[in-house]
Structure 1
Amino acid sequence: MTPTKNILIGGISGGIGSALAKELTRQQNRLFGFARSPERLDALQKELPGIQTEPCDATDPVALAEAFKKAHEAMGSIDVYIHAIGSILIKPAHLTQNQQWQDTLNLNLSSAFYALKEAVARMQRQGQGCLLFYSSTAARIGIANHEAIAASKAGIEALVRSAAASYSNRNIRFNCIAPGLTDTDLAKPITSNPQALEISKKMAPLNAIAQAEDVASLSAWLISDSARFVTGQCVTIDGGLSATVPKPKA
């Protein structure tokens, strides 16, 4: 079967990135992905031998440009770019070191901007394209001790809206997803603590946290032709946390 789309995934070896790779491979797409850890990339390739990968630090614009070049050469085009790169920093502002702030901005926001530049440079020549980024529920509502990560993720939402306006005449779509707490390795500091996990579950009306597969399924729809009239949007997937009033305490 002919691959449906040529898709490049940044952060392909992470929790959401690897779930995406499995879902999009199942749909017969052609995939190229990059991430910082060669070991994790090798492990993913053993599980999904049809994908191609390249080690890359997305905070380095030169290395990122090279990864995009290799992906384009390998697949012939980049129809979709998915930026599944991010971090978690749960710390109040007065305890956040300046370097932690810079690292959070670089990994979450600067890498997204660099990737957007590389993607649109190619997609403009193609006359079409689609980009997907990830924000966070923490950027949509006030959650204590999330100042740095909330600010960096809110920047992604603004980036997506502006780019959607800038490149609409080139038939390029931009969207993002704002997940709540998701059961991935990145969230282990919370999910490995039974008390913290239970509190997190109770914050959402559905009394659960998201699985990476939940986010991957929504992602697959947003980059599909079924969502061809959707651009400039940030879709929240958090079990209703950001859309409802908390239940009164007993």
Structure 2
Amino acid sequence: RVSVDDMKEAMDVNLYGALKAIQWAYPVMRKTPNAAVVLFSTVAVSQGMPFHTVVASAKGAVEGFAKSLAAEFAPKVRVNCIAPSLTDTELAGDLLRDDKRREASAERHPLKRIGQREDIAHAAQYLLGEESSWVTGQILHVDGGMSSVRV
């Protein structure tokens, strides 16, 4: 069951948190060559997963925010978003608490493994660096193929 309070909290943390951080940093970013912003979403936005209503709604707002902001900030600041699947972090600890759960989760992904912190970090590093200087307004799915591949 989705509560209004849960939805408000998710929007406060995800959307409004991103907005506040960007508002604070934008005066410096717009004067910085190759400035870039990377926001974070979830594969649940594109997949319609059960029990993800609150987070998928908030992160869907983040994706729309990223695309619109990319248009508004161009050409001075690039804005992109990473949409990962389940990643082996403390936040996912309960979902990955035993070998059976870890194996089941890995099997749901076409690449048959759970994402690692480094997978997400490398994507962020790319989007923030010179190598992606012609990339803006994109949602990069770092999800082991979950959002686009069926095997």
Same fold (TM over 0.5): yes
Q: Per-residue deviation at 1:126?
A: 4.1
1:86-126: per-residue Cα shift (whole Å, max 9, x none)? Answer: xxxxxxxxx23332222111111110111122222322244
Q: Per-residue deviation at 1:203?
A: 0.9
* 1:181 matches 2:74: no
Q: Per-residue deviation at 1:144?
A: 1.0
Q: Per-residue deviation at 1:136?
A: 0.6
Q: Of the candidates 198, 203, 221, which is equivalent to residue 103 of structure 2? A: 198
**Cross-structure match for 2:21:** 115
**Cross-structure match for 2:58:** 152
- Give the Cα–Cα distance (whole angstroms) in 2 for the partners of residues 153 and 184 of structure 1: 18
- Give the Cα–Cα distance (whole angstroms) in 2 for the partners of residues 99 and 146 of structure 1: 15
Residues 47-86 of structure 1: matches in 2 within 5 Å?
none
**Cross-structure match for 1:141:** 47
SS at match of 1:163: helix
Q: Per-residue deviation at 1:198?
A: 2.3
Q: Which has the higher strand share?
A: 1
- Give the Cα–Cα distance (whole angstroms) in 2 for the partners of residues 142 and 152 of structure 1: 13
Unaligned runs of 5+ in 2: none
RMSD between aligned residues: 1.5
- Give the Cα–Cα distance (whole angstroms) in 2 for the partners of residues 127 and 118 of structure 1: 18
SS at match of 1:236: strand
SS at match of 1:140: helix
- Give the Cα–Cα distance (whole angstroms) in 2 for the partners of residues 107 and 197 of structure 1: 28
- Give the Cα–Cα distance (whole angstroms) in 2 for the partners of residues 178 and 163 of structure 1: 17
Unaligned runs of 5+ in 1: 1-94
- Give the Cα–Cα distance (whole angstroms) in 1 for the partners of residues 32 and 147 of structure 2: 37
Q: Is the contact between residue 34 and residue 130 of structure 2 (CA under 8 Å) also seen in structure 1?
A: no
Q: Of the candidates 143, 148, 151, which is equivalent to residue 243 of structure 1? A: 148
Q: Of the candidates 22, 29, 36, which is equivalent to residue 130 of structure 1? A: 36
Change (3 A) 1:116 1:210: same
SS at match of 1:189: coil
- Give the Cα–Cα distance (whole angstroms) in 1 for the partners of residues 93 and 33 of structure 2: 41
Aligned residues: 151
Q: Is the contact between residue 107 and residue 113 of structure 2 (CA under 8 Å) also seen in structure 1?
A: yes
1:42-100: per-residue Cα shift (whole Å, max 9, x none)? Answer: xxxxxxxxxxxxxxxxxxxxxxxxxxxxxxxxxxxxxxxxxxxxxxxxxxxxx233322
Give the share of equivalent positions with the same residue, in percent.
30
1:131-185: per-residue Cα shift (whole Å, max 9, x none)? Answer: 111111001211111000001111111111101111113x210011111000000
- What's the TM-score once normalised by structure 1's chain length? 0.57
Q: Which has the larger radius of gyration?
A: 1
**Cross-structure match for 1:103:** 9
SS at match of 2:9: helix
- Give the Cα–Cα distance (whole angstroms) in 2 for the partners of residues 197 and 96 of structure 1: 27
- What's the TM-score once normalised by structure 2's chain length? 0.92
Change (3 A) 1:125 1:223: closer
Q: Of the candidates 122, 126, 130, which is equivalent to residue 221 of structure 1? A: 126
